[in-house]
A and B are shown apart, each in its own frame.
Chain A
Amino acid sequence: MDQVGAKLLEEIAGLHEIPEGAYNIRENGKSVGRSSTEEIEIIPKDNGKGIDIHIKPGTKNKSVHIPVIISQSGLKEVVYNDFYIGEDCDVTIVAGCGIHNGGKDSSQHDGIHSFFVGKNAHIKYVEKHYGSGDGNGERIMNPETIINLGEGSFMEMDTVQIKGVDSTIRKTSAVLEKDAKLVVMERLMTHGKQKAESYFHVELNGDGSGANVVSRSVAKESSYQKFVSDLEGNAACSGHTECDAIIMDEAKISAVPQLEANHPDAALIHEAAIGKIAGEQIIKLMTLGLTEEEAEAKIVDGFLQ
């Protein structure tokens, strides 16, 4: 792997070297490294367009890394990764995509991830998107996450897209059975002429199920963001969705929270707030010796942390 690839890998997965445990590294449309363990098996799909990840029931404190990097300008791919997570597991899955585009053609990665989470399993899913390169070609990522949470299971999904992705349409859908819980934290920053749209649809089908979908975003310059979060309560469940956005310069943001209660004991809440950085926040940091620009950067960094 060259320096560009290594930098992308570090940005999206925090990896400086080959990770321990199970992993699959995809570079420019091909797997360049794969390792299974006794508990976690990674099997490539026959058509070469993705992998199946099987995690044995009862696997505890293990992690799987499946980063994707693209440095070849003009490459477009759709990849299907399916995760089968056994009962009573406790695992962390680190995905993510980095595109370096130094050419004039658009590069695009559409990762479609399906999760089948067994009874009482506990998973943390981390996904980071990053783009770099000074070419005119766009860096496009359209991730789709399809989540099936079994009885009593828990999934924490943490997604970050801070820099360099020109266009994103993110779709996340989830179906929750009895006592299953889903916590989503999405952090997003757009600048220049970037566009990012994010759609969540969560079906709370089991009694005692719960979801918390939170988005924090900053839109700078003339970028555009759209956040749609739709919670459907079909049982005695609880759901909360929140979009909190800072708008700057000429940017535009649209936040569309939607709630649908189909059961008398469904308790659903939505909150959405869009606004500029409060002037008094900048002044407070200036009284500590920061310049106006430093204060603004610090506030944005903190907000997205």
Chain B
Amino acid sequence: MLELKNISFSVSEKKEEIGILKNVNLTIEDGKFIVITGPNGGGKSTLAKVIAGIEKPTEGQILWNGEDITQWSVTDRAKAGISYAFQQPVRFKGITVFDLIQLATGNRITVEEACRYLAEVGLCAKDYVRREVNASLSGGELKRIEIATVMARATKLTVFDEPEAGIDLWSFQKLIGVFEKLHEVNNGSILIISHQERILNIADEIVMIADGQITARGRKEDILPDILEKTASCSCQYYKEPAGLE
């Protein structure tokens, strides 16, 4: 179980403190499938990074199975069973897809085992396993490889930051399958940052974050209609509805 207690995160810009996360409280129980959504710049990705240990909160406490991990490094959290899938996967010159999957499993694996993870994300394994994770791969391919690496880790908590970005429709279905599998195999919890209605649809719970705060939280039946209604109307002061559409 992951507990975020009064988490705040701020940055200094031009001698001014800017609050990115403000007093966030959130508990993710074992085996839960939670989707965080909300407007751009609302603090969702920062929250994911705070959980993975990439950013340290300026205030508050993070508990993992009751233990305070607030000051733990990224490595220690990874070893303790927290996985994080990057929104924009990283490229490496010289490191192959196989190397990355092998590192993710923490064991020596066979090519066949690596291929199994790639097949799960809809990549024809033999075309990819020996390729370098470099600029020759497209954004969508990298994204699927990124997802394969967190699958290979099969940890108790997996955090995905916008996993659907760059994924085509066909593999979108595979992606849903990946979440379900991670969920089933070891009763793992999944936390996904997403704007995709189809991902929101399969969540146990939806958390809405805007302006660094949790503004709504609940079952999809209660939250989803409200979100859809809000996103349907544009609040931009410079935007005028074309004549005849009002």
* Interface residues in chain A, defined as those with a beta carbon under 8 Å from any beta carbon in chain B: 216, 244, 278, 280-281, 283-292, 298-299, 301-305
Contacts and interface: CB of A to CB of B under 8 A. Distances in A.
B74 A298 contact: no
Interface of B: 52, 54, 73-75, 78-79, 83-84, 86, 89-90, 92-96, 99-100, 103-104, 106, 149, 153
A288 B96 CA distance: 15
Contacts of B74: 283, 286-287
B27 to A, nearest CB: 22
B83 A298 contact: no
Given A302-B99, A305-B94, 19 more contacts: A280-B90, A284-B89, A287-B54, A287-B84, A288-B78, A288-B100, A288-B103, A288-B104, A288-B149, A289-B75, A289-B103, A289-B153, A290-B75, A299-B92, A302-B93, A302-B94, A302-B95, A303-B93, A303-B94
A276 to B, nearest CB: 14
A286 B75 contact: yes
Contacts of B83: 287
A287 B103 contact: no
Contact of A284 (B73, B79, B86, B106): B86
- Interface majority SS on B: helix, strand, loop or mixed? mixed
Contacts of A283: 54, 74, 90
Nearest to A286: B74
Nearest first, the 10 closest Cβ-Cβ pairs linking A and B are: A302-B94, A302-B95, A286-B74, A289-B78, A284-B90, A303-B94, A286-B75, A287-B84, A305-B94, A288-B103
A304 B94 contact: yes
Given A288-B104, A298-B103, A244 B93 contact: yes
Contacts of A290: 75, 103
